[in-house]
Structure 1
């Protein structure tokens, strides 16, 4: 069931969500431990002078909140894609080992090169996401019947726990606990313009590719036989979308660390608005994901720089329990 059946209503909802995202983004530039006026934000951008408040706004707060939008979009869309590819309503990058795998390989990189650049961290994040995701999928398909919801979730929990333990062990042995703690707790604090210069084009490019290919994902989500009847090469499409999901997850972890439940919650909310057509689910998930993470980061920042991951989990854990009780169905 869709909340809105009229095409104009869906378009209007999209415009409204975009407006909400932009308003929240502007508000997030102003609010924090130290509050700034809209005029100060405007002057920091267009009438810059080398003073402390302008430097904080330009070099700390704005890149931080842009990162929050991008990561929200990346994780929400990667969750939506995984739910379509696996036909599993409980799929999420953090629940299927992608985030834990990315954190583990990043910890290995930092153990041998504490000064690794962000491009190296992005590459390590992607490799780790591939390792974690592949392990979960192989375990989940190790018995006849293909993907099974509970088997995938249990495999994801086991693989995530193992990879997280390995990351913690590496951190203890090589004494890089502080660096690894950031990736485990998750947060956009400390994001720089240089990091965004690498991450933003990758995230935006992958989001565009997935949205343009959303018709095939919609067919795949309907089932193997239905997709093949519509002329979709299910093997190729599943592989391509899986790789794109791993790229989004790996870059997101390299940028802000591991954030759970974003990819689980947001796609379900998007489907409540637009139904099951991924040509609409993906862009709506991106907008809702950006809104969610920007809001969560403002709450984290205004409550004394609490970990962003903790704020997200306060909403995510009850939602996950609710979904499990509903047997993965929310519509």
Structure 2
């Protein structure tokens, strides 16, 4: 009679040890990402057409005087650094969430038509309203991105079985349609094309100081919804029938997750333009080191997305001084080999 309680105790002790190791692993990765991110922030404030020493950066940050270093740090590099951190965090969380909801390892934050909708908003702002600055067309991009994602979510009919498949198909169809409209407008107007192509490549150059502050509330709401819906998404990955048996409504979870993804992707795309591979790569990397527990993975995804995005911006400035290579191009060059390495490593 004592064998069964002994076996149960051993099993419970084994589960407790596994959970403790998992918590320690998450804490270790979180600390490593925080240290890496701190170094990248200093590098982002120091590297540019006029390099600054780290001591000069710290002095400028702590000083209220606006000498040359102070102007460079506070008015030029700090806004783009904060914008990169915001956009990267949003893409990391959105990438992890959309892959969990769709159960598709190839799902990308742009899958809901967000990138295409934002592109259409920017083209409309440039072609029909004469807007030519990032701070001016950020709201056009946000409206286009949010509108496109809302149409995709509504068209997918998440209350039906297989709603995630409909989500993917609707996103692909709408992206193709909006992309065609964007090409028609840009090909018909050379000035619009010249202005649009700098946004379309993905860049943090000449970002207004208030862009990140304007978009921060939407990012916060998106992250909060992602955290609240994370447990339901974990249950949904077990299957719709089992999720219902556990008291989870698949339709509510998909709509809530779609809302979070919409807000996060719209924020990131509005701030920087389309950034390839960030959300896709972060989702694969985080799941590989943390596992499938979405709630435990979200903070690491936010830190990893911010680090990868800021690293792309810093590398783009460092390799082309006194000019720069746009962060979107660098992210594609860094993201594609890293993603291929992760896939090969997992398959082996």
- TM tier, smaller: 0.7 to 0.9
User: Based on CA coordinates, which of the two structures has the bigger radius of gyration?
Assistant: 2
Aligned to 1:209: 225
Question: Structure 1 pair 313/139, CA: closer, same or farther in 2 (3 Å)?
Answer: farther
What displacement does 1:12 show? Answer: 2.6
Inter-partner Cα distance in structure 1 for 2:237 and 2:140: 30
Q: TM-score, normalised by structure 2?
A: 0.81
1:171 aligns with 2:186: yes
Q: Secondary structure of the residue that 2:109 maps to in structure 1? A: coil
Q: Secondary structure of the residue that 1:94 maps to in structure 2? A: helix
What displacement does 1:138 show? Answer: 7.7
1:297 aligns with 2:313: yes
Inter-partner Cα distance in structure 2 for 1:311 and 1:148: 31
Inter-partner Cα distance in structure 1 for 2:157 and 2:103: 13
Q: TM-score, normalised by structure 1?
A: 0.85
Aligned to 1:310: 329
What displacement does 1:277 show? Answer: 0.7
More helix, by proportion: 2
- What is the aligned length? 325
Aligned to 1:160: 175
Inter-partner Cα distance in structure 1 for 2:91 and 2:250: 23
Q: What do residues 38-67 of structure 1 show as CA deviations (whole Å, max 9, x unaligned)?
A: 221122222243333321111111111111
Question: Structure 1 pair 156/218, CA: closer, same or farther in 2 (3 Å)?
Answer: same
Question: Structure 1 pair 116/66, CA: closer, same or farther in 2 (3 Å)?
Answer: same
Question: Structure 1 pair 90/134, CA: closer, same or farther in 2 (3 Å)?
Answer: farther
What displacement does 1:282 show? Answer: 1.2
Q: Secondary structure of the residue that 2:206 maps to in structure 1? A: coil
Inter-partner Cα distance in structure 1 for 2:256 and 2:230: 12
Q: What do residues 211-239 of structure 1 show as CA deviations (whole Å, max 9, x unaligned)?
A: 24321222223321222122112111211
Inter-partner Cα distance in structure 2 for 1:54 and 1:308: 24
Question: Contact 2:225–2:256 at 8 Å: present in 1 too?
Answer: no
Question: Contact 1:76–1:262 at 8 Å: present in 2 too?
Answer: yes
RMSD: 3.2
Q: Which stretch of structure 1 is more off in the superposition, 63-72 or 29-38? A: 29-38
**Structure 2 residue runs without a partner (length 5+):** 1-17
